[in-house]
Amino acid sequence: MIAEIGHAALWLAAALAALQMLAGFLAVNAGGEGDVARLVRPTAIMQGVLASVAFAMLLWLFATTDLSVKLVAANSHSMKPMIFKLAGAWGNHEGSMLLWVTVMSLAGGLIALVERRLPERTMQATLAAQGLVSLGFYAFLILSSNPFERLPVPAPEGMGLNPLLQDIGLAFHPPTLYIGYVGLSVAFSFAVGALLTRQVTPDFASAMRPWVLGAWVFLTIGITAGSYWAYYELGWGGWWFWDPVENASLMPWLAATALLHSASVLASRDALRIWTIMLGVVAFSMSMVGTFLVRSGILTSVHAFAVDPERGTFILILLALFIGGALLLFALRANTINEGERFAIASREGALVFNNVMLSAILAIVLLGTLYPLLTEAFDVRVSVGPPYFNPVGAIFAVPMFLVMAVGPLLRWRQDRLDRIRPEIALFAAVVIAALIWFGLVMDVAILPLLGLALAVGLGVASFMPLRGRKLTRVPLATWGMVVAHFGIAVALLGMASESAFSEERLAAVQEGGTTTVGPWTITLREVVPVAGPNWTATEAHILASYDGGEPVYLGPQARNFWAPPQETTESALATRWNGQLYAVVGDRAPDGRWQVRLWWKPLVTLIWFGGLLVAVGGVLALLGRVVADLRRRSIARKIVERRSEEEAFARSQAQEASA
């Protein structure tokens, strides 16, 4: 019954999406008024509610482990802890697609509910576009990946969830990432709406900005969390693998970062109109390309998703329709949009444009590197592209971007002179050069980590320079957001460069009671014992690790054996200090009875994720600043209306008295 309710809600939501699209486009044609126009917003809200109902039903099915439903039987198990039962609802293709459309329709419902700044006609065009995109994904879900399909005969027991996914990370990582991916659909719809009604105005940008900011914050958190999860869960000691699925999340992030900045320029300065629209289209297109790459199974990835050519073709068609349609509309309408305000090269806009172009170039490099193996496979040449390509080629554009990022926020809008900020530039240059000399000549670090370290230190200092000479209590929240986010980039960059420059690794076979060392750590393997969990057994190494002869820390890395489905995983153990992490993995037993132990000492590695979180915090601050300003503006507008009606009432009563 639950499955049928979910299925019905899904169909109804799809029908409402169709209605929302039709009503929206009709209303736009009719000039944004009339009965049809009044239909659009309620439809969008209702559609969001129904999709949420469908998703809630799926959660229910997983919570109760209803084995008559195919998806539950294939991915769950009655013995699993509750949190993983629920997380299992989106740990598979169908469930995660349902999460995708749920988030998409909720986002549509939310803009219908709260967004009042834009002209009504642009709003209807936006909601119509949102309906169209949702409809495509509903069709995909219902026709090719129905999560509510029943089995003819209920399964006696579920197949279980991939043990790699039985981790608290899975409970949070996909939903955050999805809110980010799909939140960008709002930017896409706004862009299409603005193109349709030719209303590319600062108002449009300030209406779009909070949505982009929100999606971007979630993307940032999702990527950061995913990276940390891969780091401790896969047991390879790496935090980024340039895996196609990781790239699929990085590409929308790059586009959204560019969009965020160009929307700022449009909102405050009425420049970069076309560029902002273009980025709005590109950002969500990258989300969809990412989905296609993951779902179609055409790429090699540790994120193995369903290998199903039918689904791949379906998404490819959707992709071609949406991206192609949006680009066609863009091509037809772009030249009818008036030029925005002008600006000089040496200005805040100039710096932002430069960095936007650099971000786009990095995006192009990641995209090409991700798609290249597909291209060559068509010619039967099998190729995989990894860090030797992405790191240096990306750095060619990242380095100038970081340089401009350090000084850009110091420049004035419209027109400025570089010699006005000469002291700041000199300070930044001095810090960078000092760091280059110290790390390069004294510590002999390789070129890429060296550049990373120097730029990170310089950027860390430079990110606070916009606050210089200002009264800190009067700095707007949004400016604090920028400072914190830029500082977060510097912190993350420092972590990445430090990890790459100073990591030490030790691989050894150690007998019980034996000792080995890595970096400043001395490690003693006390014993190796068998342990058991709710659905696994493991061998656990008891390790005492002492930093520089200090008080020893206990570590318990495990090699786990799951039985549903049968699989082995390595559970790493971490010892975190302020200046880095010790990472320990236990392996097989050598024939002579010694145990394989792999250890890494990674100085400052935690800064990677700490920096990522700071970036997200910066985004939240900026978002709060915008929302607070918007609420204040609304309450002022309301007061003005009240005051005016009071005055009118007063004037009327005066007039009545006078006539009496």
Partner 1 sequence: MSAMKAKHQRLVLVVVALVALVGAGLLAAYALRNQANYFYLPEQMQADPPEVGQAVRLGGMVEAGSLITDPDGVTLRFTVTGNDGSRVPVRFSGIAPDLFVEGSGVVAEGRLEADGTFVADNLLAKHDENYVPKELEGMTQAQAAKMAEETTVGIE
Least Cα distance to 183 among 274, 96, 106 occurs for 106
Examine residue 304 and tell whether it contacts partner 1 (CB under 8 A): yes
524 touches partner 1 by CB under 8 A:
no
> In the complex, what is the shortest distance from the CB of residue 569 to partner 1, in angstroms, rounded to a whole number?
6
Distance CA 533, CA 45 (A): 44
Nearest of 181, 221, 36, 170 to residue 97 by alpha carbon: 181
Q: How far is the CB of 297 from partner 1 (least distance, A)?
A: 8
Task: Please report how close the Cβ of residue 429 comes to partner 1 at its closest, in angstroms.
Answer: 24
CB 504 within 8 A of CB 515: no
Give whichever of 90 and 609 is closer to partner 1, judged by the CB atom. 90
Applying CB under 8 A, does 358 fall inside the site for partner 1?
yes
Residue from 12, 15, 74, 404 that binds partner 1 (CB under 8 A)?
A: 74
The strand pairing partners of 508, in sequence order, are 597
Q: How far apart are CA 122 and CA 38, in angstroms?
A: 14
Q: Are 204 and 122 in contact (CB under 8 A)?
A: yes
Q: Does 302 bind partner 1 (CB under 8 A)?
A: yes
Residue among 20 and 569 whose Cβ is closer to partner 1: 569
Residues in 365-384 at the binding interface with partner 1, rule: CB under 8 A = 365, 368-369, 372-373, 376, 381-384
611 three-state secondary structure: helix
Q: Provide the sign of the torsion angle of the four alpha carbons 37, 180, 405, 247, taken in this order.
A: negative
Q: Any residues with CB less than 8 A from the CB of 432 and at least 6 apart, and which?
A: 454, 455, 457, 458
Distance, in Å, from the CA atom of 574 to the CA atom of 559, rounded to the nearest integer, reads: 15
Nearer to partner 1, 109 or 169 (CB): 169
Of 236, 5, 204, 22, the closest CA to residue 115 belongs to 204
Instruction: Compute the distance between CA of residue 455 and CA of residue 35 in angstroms, rounded to an integer.
Output: 58
Q: Is 421 in the site for partner 1 (CB under 8 A)?
A: no
In the window 598-627, what residues touch partner 1 (CB under 8 A)? 598
Q: Is 550 a residue that touches partner 1 (CB under 8 A)?
A: no
Chain positions 48 to 67 lying near partner 1, rule: CB under 8 A, are none
Total of chain residues touching partner 1, rule CB under 8 A: 81
User: Rounded to the nearest whole angstrom, what is the least distance from the CB of residue 574 to partner 1 in the complex?
Assistant: 16
By the rule CB under 8 A, 392 interacts with partner 1: yes
> What is the distance between the alpha carbons of residues 342 and 340, in angstroms, rounded to a whole number?
6
Contact 122, 128 (CB under 8 A): no
Cβ burial of 375 (10 Å; 0-12, 13-18, 19+) is exposed
Region from 474-482, 533-541, 545-553, 587-595 binding partner 1, contact rule CB under 8 A: 587-595
* CA–CA dist 193, 199 (Å, integer): 8
In terms of CB distance, is 8 or 234 closer to partner 1?
234
For residue 170 the two structure tokens come to 């899975």
- If the CB atoms of residues 126 and 360 are measured against partner 1, the closer one turns out to be 360
Whether the CB-CB separation of 126 and 192 falls below 8 Å is answered with: yes
**Closest distance to partner 1 from the beta carbon of 408 (Å):** 16
- Residue 187 CB, nearest approach to partner 1 (Å): 19
Q: Does 438 bind partner 1 (CB under 8 A)?
A: no
* Residue range at the interface with partner 1 (CB under 8 A); choices 313-321, 488-496, 543-551, 588-596: 588-596
Nearest to 92 by CA among 173, 194, 161: 161
Smallest gap from residue 357 Cβ to partner 1 (A): 5
9, 196, 362, 620: residue in contact with partner 1 (rule CB under 8 A): 362
Question: Where in 153-212 is the site for partner 1 (CB under 8 A)?
Answer: 161-165, 170, 173-174, 177-178
Segment (H or E) for 542: strand 536-547
- Residue 274 beta carbon to partner 1: minimum distance, rounded to whole angstroms: 8
Task: Give 239 or 305: the residue with its C-beta nearer to partner 1.
Answer: 305
Other C-beta atoms closer than 10 Å to the C-beta of 160 total 23
**Residue located via tokens 């590109």:** 282
**Structure tokens belonging to residue 366:** 């990641």
Does position 264 bind partner 1 by CB under 8 A? no
CA atoms within 13 A on the CB side of 185: 32
By the rule CB under 8 A, 231 interacts with partner 1: no
Q: What φ, ψ does residue 159 adopt, rounded to 5°?
A: -80, -15
Question: Is residue 331 a contact point for partner 1 (CB under 8 A)?
Answer: no
Decide if residue 255 touches partner 1 (CB under 8 A): no
Among 38, 537, 594, 610, interactor with partner 1 by CB under 8 A: 594
**Ramachandran class of 604: left when φ > 0, alpha when ψ lies in -120 to 50, beta otherwise:** left
Query: According to CB under 8 A, which one of 68, 479, 517, 570 is a site residue for partner 1?
Result: 570
Rounded CA separation 619/224 (Å): 14
Site membership for partner 1, residue 412 (CB under 8 A): no
Q: Does 426 interact with partner 1 (rule: CB under 8 A)?
A: no
Question: Can residue 447 be called a binding residue for partner 1 (CB under 8 A)?
Answer: no
What's the closest the beta carbon of residue 310 comes to partner 1, in angstroms? 11
Q: Write out the DSSP string of 564-607.
A: TTEEEEEE-EEEEETTEEEEEEEEEEPTTS-EEEEEEEEETTTH
**Given 25, 55, 90, 284, the residue binding partner 1 (CB under 8 A):** 90
Q: Shortest gap between Cβ of 238 and partner 1 (angstroms)?
A: 10
Residue 333: partners with Cβ closer than 8 Å, 6 or more residues away: 195, 196, 198
Segment contacting partner 1 by CB under 8 A, of 199-207, 339-347, 443-451, 601-609: 339-347
Binding mask 112-151 for partner 1 (x = CB under 8 A): ----------------------------------------
Stretch that binds partner 1, among 473-481, 589-597, 637-645, 648-656 (CB under 8 A): 589-597
Of 162 and 479, CB closest to partner 1: 162
What gap in Å lies between CA 210 and CA 192, rounded to an integer? 17
Residue 569 touching partner 1 (CB under 8 A): yes
Contact range with partner 1 by CB under 8 A, out of 21-29, 57-65, 120-128, 563-571: 563-571
